[in-house]
Structure 1
Amino acid sequence: MFKLRSILTGWLLIGLLGCAKKEPAPFTPTVVTPPVVSTTYTNPLLSSGPDPWVYQKDGFYYYMATTGNNVTLRKTAKMSELSSAPATVVWTPPSNGANSRDIWAPELHFLDGKWYIYFTAGPGNCCGGQRMWVLENSAADPTTGTWIEKGRVFNPNEDFWAIDPTVLEQNGQRYLVWSGHAAANTEEQRLYISRMSNPWTLTGARVELSRPQFRWEQQGVLPVNEGPQILKNAGKTFLVYSASHCTSDDYALGMLTASATADPMNAAAWTKTPTPVFVTNATAGTYGPGHNAFFKSKDGQQDWLIYHANSRPNQGCGDARNPRMQPFTYRADGTPDFGTPVSIGAALPRPGGE
């Protein structure tokens, strides 16, 4: 009887202990530290990139620059992160021929529902053979699809050395603006404009808009006006261009101004600013700033200037030229104030919206 009672008591104790509530181990939450997102960027954006160009569409920026031997596109949602954007070669020149060498200053434009790339190329003699060419692509994304050669953009009656084409749209009409020679036996570079009947065809005679008339436009081995770019604000159209030869550290930006309703083929409608609007800043490590383009920040609230420059003096026209960007503002009269080139390596606020 005692043995049975002991056994029953043991079972009861085991049952009671088995039903006892166990306290859970203390909970230690895992703390996840979010990555630190930089609010700044530094110039230069890339180690090399002469003649930078930026086009905005559908939330993306498309960047191009002179490579010399092909046409390359970078696509990015944030200009401050350009260096991480893959470089896609979209066109490779033929092994020989009229557009096989010296591929310069490509520009991407979206016109009439298609993509077009304007660029300069020649047979290898840059002092006499350079001409303007255009490619076409109907894909939604210009880094995909097929680029078709549409040929040269020129007027047969004025078939002279021509570089740096860009597009101006005004008063419902489209124009091409470029830098070229006045005749076959001249080397001074002037700015010209011509009407376009479609994205690859000029119509009518060209008109000269500017020539290197001031000393600041005549530095280096040749007097030069080149790299025209269009900017519009406050009812005005600004044609910002590069002046003097790229061999000179005095390479700089100049500007023409016209009413946004004026006929741009009327040379008298344009007024040249008598002094350069953006110049070398040696203390900032910026020599020969020029061949620029413009874009808006992602939030649409800021205007930005992108340009190339050398980081040291006397580096000339080569691959040492690298792309930099900085914001700019407008004066009370609506004209742009580009300020001075900012220092390389300085931490600068990223464009608004990034």
Structure 2
Amino acid sequence: MAKAIHVYTRPVDDACYPEGLARSVHFACSSEVSGDIPWNKNYGILFVHGEISKDNTIIPMGIKDPCIFRIDDKRMGIAARRVLEDGSPDETTAGKLMLWETEDLISFTEKGFVTCESIGAMAASGSEDAGDSTFSSYLEVPDELADAATLYWSSIKYTETVIPERVTIGSLEELESVKAKIRYSDGSVRTKSVKWNADAIDFSVPGEYRIEGVIDQQRFDFPLAKGYGDPVIFPWDDKWYYISTNDNLNDIGIYVREAEDVHGLFADGVIEHLILPFDPKRGFEQTFWAPEFHVIGGELYILFAVSGHKWGPQCHLMKLKKGRPIIEEDSWEDPVRIVRKNGEPLAIDEITLDMTYVKNNAGSYMIWSYRENIATPLDSGSMLYIASVDEDAPWKLTSEPVLLTRPLYGWENVSGTINNEGPNHFISDGMVYVTYSGGSANRYTYALGLLTASVDDDLLNPDNWHKSITPVLTFYSVDGEFGPGHNAFYTNEDGELMISYHGETDIGSSLRCDGIRRVHFRSDGSPYFQMSKEEDIRTEKVYITICIR
């Protein structure tokens, strides 16, 4: 048996699916039984890179007329003509096609531009009706391959909870070690603790008992807070803290919330403590942007950007005084501007922002967003740089900055947004995962990209990083959440990795609102950021029979 894999572009819709998104390679699987199933919720999967002009500006590009074909017994090729953002021909690649190769229709390798003659025989292109999409080409593949890829590009959902029917134990501690297995639609499984109700059980008396337990999954509504961007959740000294960009106050001042748990950070009447006020004497007047808590060398810092009287955000940090409470203004040392290894400012006429700290086995680093000539014809767009730092003096770089990524894909540069910003990271299974944001920071096109490296790699070597072609979180990911981005990560009380982010509540809104949800991990260990609370496990009761020996 075989199923057909279709590749196509979508019509441009300036209101909800503009050129940077529509002119990408979309995929769908079709069969007589299932009909047409668009992958990735009909959001683009393969994007072609733009070009950098001699003026250091970005020329955005898209694709046209994609096709899919068999290269050999293992490999398939996807090829397309590169066009300018508006769909007009790209004369610089005339007679050539962009080629991607894949063995599984999950991972794709960009091979660059090749001549049509070099590609060889193309698959016969077809045209079938699939709603608002036009299929440009298709290839029949074995069911097993098609089903695995369709599963990968579909939403992952909770399917069942597995608990032993009966266990033999001798103590409360042994009972508490009995965990639930939570299964998901992609075949992934995770374990979760159960809060067993064993208050009435005397573990010194042998016997058989039927008891109840509760599996508790933290769930958060969206939006949690309106008028806040770049949210960060942080545990410190048995309390929880929330810090963000405060759009409600025109991004003036840095405020912190404190609570006993994360839900308390968003409770009615929660106090916002001002820890860095408007202060012209110190040059802190505007763009109090993207504050983040980081423990560096055992000390607590806040990394943030701020401008003086003249607009132009620059990266700063400030350090918590020993033993002082986070929520008091005088607990913090005076902010220090980030400098290069020669002691000069990180930037002068350019802007720097969204700095974050990363540590792996090879060293300590700062990653930040940098932009030249913003809002001029020579606007470079924002891009991410990395440099090493000494933990004892993290305000001073110890290497030259190294470019990590520029917004060359259509989803990063939607309608002139030319944006790579908001990096944040976590480490899992020997890998460093750095998320970042592209598109418009307060519109529905905002989306998360992903950079990946080994925990042992020298992160200053660009060759050690892999950049995902496809964004990992978009306005297609979770119903009712538009423009999700500029995120941070934290680990909750149950040891689960959580992602905080901002987005909007409808496609036309520019009011940034905060959300939180769990990061899921596929069976291969890779992260999945798109699981809504409705698709995850709910708090539920379970039952078990225990035999006390």
TM-score category (smaller protein): 0.7 to 0.9
Distance 1:248 1:41, change over 3 A: closer
> 1:189-228 maps to which residues of 2 (within 5 A)?
189-197=382-390, 198-228=393-423
Shift of 1:111: 2.4
Aligned to 1:66, the other structure's residue is in SS state: strand
Structure 2 counterpart of 1:43, one-letter code: F
Distance 1:282 1:214, change over 3 A: closer
Distance 1:183 1:237, change over 3 A: farther
Structure 2 counterpart of 1:101, one-letter code: Q
Between the aligned partners of 2:245 and 2:472, the Cα distance in structure 1 is: 23
Distance 1:158 1:339, change over 3 A: same
Structure 2 counterpart of 1:66, one-letter code: T
Structure 2 counterpart of 1:142, one-letter code: I
- Residue in 1 that maps onto 2:319: 136
- The answer to whether the aligner puts 1:59 opposite 2:249 as a matched pair is no
- The answer to whether the aligner puts 1:305 opposite 2:495 as a matched pair is no
Shift of 1:41: 4.4
Kindly indicate whether the alpha-carbon contact (under 8 Å) linking 1:220 and 1:248 is maintained by their aligned counterparts in 2: no
- Residue in 1 that maps onto 2:360: 170
Distance 1:158 1:256, change over 3 A: same
Question: Normalized against structure 2, the TM-score is what?
Answer: 0.52
Between the aligned partners of 2:235 and 2:483, the Cα distance in structure 1 is: 26
Between the aligned partners of 2:537 and 2:261, the Cα distance in structure 1 is: 14
Between the aligned partners of 1:347 and 1:333, the Cα distance in structure 2 is: 19
Distance 1:281 1:340, change over 3 A: farther
Question: Normalized against structure 1, the TM-score is what?
Answer: 0.79
Larger Rg: 1
Q: Give the counterpart of 1:295 among 490, 512, 523.
A: 490
Shift of 1:50: 0.6
Shift of 1:258: 0.4
- Residue in 1 that maps onto 2:226: 47
Shift of 1:293: 0.8
1:209-253 deviation digits (Å, cap 9, x = unpaired): 111121011014321010000111010001100111225411100
1:163-220 deviation digits (Å, cap 9, x = unpaired): 1011001226221111112678534010111111312211221001111121011014
Distance 1:57 1:212, change over 3 A: same
Kindly indicate whether the alpha-carbon contact (under 8 Å) linking 2:219 and 2:533 is maintained by their aligned counterparts in 1: no
Distance 1:149 1:97, change over 3 A: closer
Between the aligned partners of 1:39 and 1:327, the Cα distance in structure 2 is: 8
Between the aligned partners of 1:168 and 1:40, the Cα distance in structure 2 is: 28
- The answer to whether the aligner puts 1:78 opposite 2:264 as a matched pair is no
Between the aligned partners of 1:282 and 1:237, the Cα distance in structure 2 is: 23
- Residue in 1 that maps onto 2:272: 87
Between the aligned partners of 1:260 and 1:176, the Cα distance in structure 2 is: 15
- Residue in 2 that maps onto 1:20: none
Between the aligned partners of 1:174 and 1:183, the Cα distance in structure 2 is: 30
Q: Give the counterpart of 1:314 among 508, 522, 533.
A: 508
Distance 1:173 1:347, change over 3 A: closer
> 1:113-128 maps to which residues of 2 (within 5 A)?
113-123=298-308, 126=311
State how many pairs are aligned.
306
1:138-186 deviation digits (Å, cap 9, x = unpaired): 2433224521224211323752310101100122622111111267853
- Residue in 1 that maps onto 2:523: 332
Structure 1 counterpart of 2:450, one-letter code: M
Between the aligned partners of 2:537 and 2:253, the Cα distance in structure 1 is: 32
Aligned to 1:81, the other structure's residue is in SS state: helix
Question: Where does the alignment leave 5 or more consecutive residues of structure 2 unmatched?
Answer: 1-216, 540-549
Between the aligned partners of 1:151 and 1:282, the Cα distance in structure 2 is: 39
Between the aligned partners of 2:256 and 2:397, the Cα distance in structure 1 is: 26
Between the aligned partners of 1:253 and 1:289, the Cα distance in structure 2 is: 7
Between the aligned partners of 1:298 and 1:108, the Cα distance in structure 2 is: 18
Aligned to 1:268, the other structure's residue is in SS state: helix
Cα RMSD after superposing both structures: 2.7
- Residue in 1 that maps onto 2:55: none
- Residue in 2 that maps onto 1:28: none
Kindly indicate whether the alpha-carbon contact (under 8 Å) linking 2:320 and 2:333 is maintained by their aligned counterparts in 1: yes
Between the aligned partners of 1:232 and 1:94, the Cα distance in structure 2 is: 37
Distance 1:41 1:204, change over 3 A: closer
Between the aligned partners of 2:275 and 2:506, the Cα distance in structure 1 is: 32
Between the aligned partners of 2:509 and 2:357, the Cα distance in structure 1 is: 30
Between the aligned partners of 2:254 and 2:333, the Cα distance in structure 1 is: 13
Distance 1:122 1:333, change over 3 A: same
Kindly indicate whether the alpha-carbon contact (under 8 Å) linking 1:330 and 1:337 is maintained by their aligned counterparts in 2: yes
- Residue in 2 that maps onto 1:263: 458
- Residue in 2 that maps onto 1:240: 435
Kindly indicate whether the alpha-carbon contact (under 8 Å) linking 1:115 and 1:142 is maintained by their aligned counterparts in 2: no
- Residue in 2 that maps onto 1:105: 290
Distance 1:41 1:177, change over 3 A: closer
Between the aligned partners of 2:477 and 2:405, the Cα distance in structure 1 is: 28
Between the aligned partners of 2:460 and 2:336, the Cα distance in structure 1 is: 24
Between the aligned partners of 1:45 and 1:259, the Cα distance in structure 2 is: 34
Structure 1 counterpart of 2:527, one-letter code: P
Structure 1 counterpart of 2:242, one-letter code: Y
Aligned to 1:306, the other structure's residue is in SS state: strand
Kindly indicate whether the alpha-carbon contact (under 8 Å) linking 1:42 and 1:347 is maintained by their aligned counterparts in 2: no
Between the aligned partners of 1:286 and 1:41, the Cα distance in structure 2 is: 13
Structure 2 counterpart of 1:299, one-letter code: D
Between the aligned partners of 2:536 and 2:528, the Cα distance in structure 1 is: 21
Shift of 1:342: 5.4
Structure 2 counterpart of 1:106, one-letter code: P
Aligned to 2:398, the other structure's residue is in SS state: strand
